[in-house]
Structure 1
Amino acid sequence: MKELTGKSIVVTGAGGGLGAAYAQHAALLGASVVVNDVDRDAANACAKAITDAGGQAIAHPADVSNWDAGVALVDACVDAFGALDGFVNNAGILRPALLEHTTEADIRHMIDVNLIGTTSCARAAALQMKAQGTGGSIINVASGSQAGDIALGGYGATKAAISSLTFSWAMELRDTGIRMNAISPLAETAMAAQNAHLMALQGANRDVHYDALPAAEVNAPLVSFLLSDGARDITGQIVRIAGRQLSFVTHPLIAQPVLEDDWTFDKIANAFSDRLAGCQQKLGLAFAPKK
């Protein structure tokens, strides 16, 4: 039996790139898929590719920045396939800009799509899964840019917020059978290609950098695994897949050393001079020390 046989899922932003790869891979493993995209033609094309390959899919074009879109997508899945077992919050936009060139419109647009859209859809999915009483898997999309990236401050902020929401929602849902995880993918997509000029600049300012990006399809098996029963014990995690590398991304931690005293201005100044100034955290995506 295929690993996702009998499961009904929604993938947002699935008209192309990573979202289409997720939807098509899940369908190959037996899932019935609602293909969402803001672009109606792209959503229809992805759904058709799935059905032409012998899978089950319907298209449901919608703009996830509309708060009602989450409920509509869940309803579409239940109406078409009888239940909701998985939801992949892939839809997102990128508006790169240095701080001095950042506009209110771009920041608000990224918040609306990346953050409001993820929240609306995750909320609707969790409510449906709770009502069914059968559990399920909700997957959000984070990014290495949450650790900081030149010209990606606004985008990285929305992805850091998605990570924080994933941690919180997983804690809220941990006794319900509903798993809440995030992935941090890496791929050559149209969005990445439009901003290729930033790669060298970003790579020169962080430990983890790439000369080339893998195909979107490389990331799809991870999403299918997290949708499957094989991941029934995985929740509240950010899973990073970067070509041949698979790992967790650490949650925010209190860094060592933790100094104790009754702190005055002078004591704090001395603490930085003596200990803390040399313990500053790295900027940008970095690998944790090996154990």
Structure 2
Amino acid sequence: MSALSGKSVVVTGAGSGLGAAYAHHAASLGANIVVNDIDVGRAEQTAAAIRQAGGSALAHAGDVARWETAQALVDRCTAEFGTLSGFVANAGVLYHGRILDWNERDLRQMFEVNLLGTAACASAAAKAMLAQGTGGSIVTVTSGSQAGTTALGGYGATKAAVAALTYSWAMELAGTGVRINAISPLAETAMAAQHKAHLAVRPPDHEIPSDILPSPQVSAPVISYLLSDQARGIHGQVVRIAGRQLSFVSHPTIADPVLEGEWTFDAVIDAFERYLRHRQHKLGLSYAGPSESGRSKQEGFGTGPHPLRGQS
């Protein structure tokens, strides 16, 4: 029996790119797929390709920025396949803008699709899974941009908010059988191409290269794993997949040193000058491993050239 046999999964933004790769891979492992995209033609194209490959899929077009779309997707999945086993809230949009040149339209659309759309989908999915009493897996999508990237502050803010919601929802769902995790993927997609075109007209502002990206199919097995029963016990995590690198992204933590004292103005000055000024943290996504190279201590794990690095 395949790893996802008998499971029914909704994937939003699955008309192309990463979402389509997630849908195809989950279907290849036996899942029934509801393919969502705002573009009805693309949604139907992905669903048809899955069926032609011997899988089970149907298309349901809709804009996740509209709150009612999430419930419609859940209802369609349960009506057609009898259950909702997994929900991948992948749909998202990206606009560039620096602090001095943002406009309300672009910011509002990113927050409505990336944040409110994810919130609506996760909420509707959790309610359905809890009502079924059989558990389930919800996967949200965040990004390395949550740590800061020039001209992606708005996009990164939406993805940081998704991560924060995922942490909180994981606490709320603990012990219910409904799991929720986030993925922070890196892939060659239309969105990535848009960002690379932007990078081409300005100097790089970080050391992590983003000119060579893996295909969307590289991330797909991670999604399928998180949807599967093999991932029981994986809950409340942000999983990063970047080329040949697989890792967790650490939750926000309080960093050393933690100074004790009575914090008068003079004491604060002394603390910063003596202990904190030279311990400022790097901007942007960085590695917290044993060395600056970011290489794991598990040097023998995996084969091939040095892993790709980058921000999604």
In which range does the TM-score fall when normalised by the shorter chain?
A: over 0.9
Tell me the residue number matched to 1:61: 61
Is the Cα–Cα contact under 8 Å of residues 150 and 202 in structure 1 kept in the other structure? no
Would you say how many aligned residue pairs link Structure 1 and Structure 2?
A: 291
For the residues of structure 1 that align with 2:27 and 2:136, how far apart are their CA atoms?
17
Q: Provide Cα deviations, 1:78-126, integer angstroms capped at 9, x if missing partner.
A: 0110000000000000011111111111111000000000000000000
Is the Cα–Cα contact under 8 Å of residues 203 and 210 in structure 1 kept in the other structure? no
Tell me the residue number matched to 1:106: 106
Question: Structure 1 residues 206, 273: CA separation in 2 closer, same or farther (over 3 Å shift)?
Answer: same
For the residues of structure 2 that align with 1:190 and 1:218, how far apart are their CA atoms?
16
Q: Provide Cα deviations, 1:19-75, integer angstroms capped at 9, x if missing partner.
A: 000000000000000000000000000000001111100100000000111110000
For the residues of structure 1 that align with 2:214 and 2:103, how far apart are their CA atoms?
31
Aligned amino acid, residue 22 of structure 1: Y
For the residues of structure 2 that align with 1:74 and 1:5, how far apart are their CA atoms?
19
RMSD: 1.3
Tell me the residue number matched to 1:162: 162
| Equivalences for residues 79-118 of structure 1 within 5 A | 79-118=79-118
Q: Secondary structure of the equivalent of 1:239?
A: strand
Is the Cα–Cα contact under 8 Å of residues 10 and 77 in structure 1 kept in the other structure? yes
Tell me the residue number matched to 2:7: 7
Is the Cα–Cα contact under 8 Å of residues 114 and 159 in structure 1 kept in the other structure? yes
For the residues of structure 1 that align with 2:155 and 2:285, how far apart are their CA atoms?
14
Tell me the residue number matched to 2:19: 19
| Equivalences for residues 147-226 of structure 1 within 5 A | 147-199=147-199, 204-226=204-226
Is the Cα–Cα contact under 8 Å of residues 196 and 211 in structure 2 kept in the other structure? no
Deviation at 1:209, TM superposition (A): 3.0
Q: Secondary structure of the equivalent of 2:248?
A: strand
Q: Structure 1 length as normaliser, TM-score?
A: 0.97
Aligned amino acid, residue 121 of structure 1: C
For the residues of structure 2 that align with 1:11 and 1:76, how far apart are their CA atoms?
12
Is the Cα–Cα contact under 8 Å of residues 126 and 178 in structure 1 kept in the other structure? yes
Is the Cα–Cα contact under 8 Å of residues 196 and 210 in structure 2 kept in the other structure? no
Tell me the residue number matched to 1:250: 250
Report percent identity of matched pairs.
59
Runs of 4+ in 1 over 2 A off after TM superposition: 197-211
Q: Secondary structure of the equivalent of 2:33?
A: strand
For the residues of structure 2 that align with 1:229 and 1:202, how far apart are their CA atoms?
45
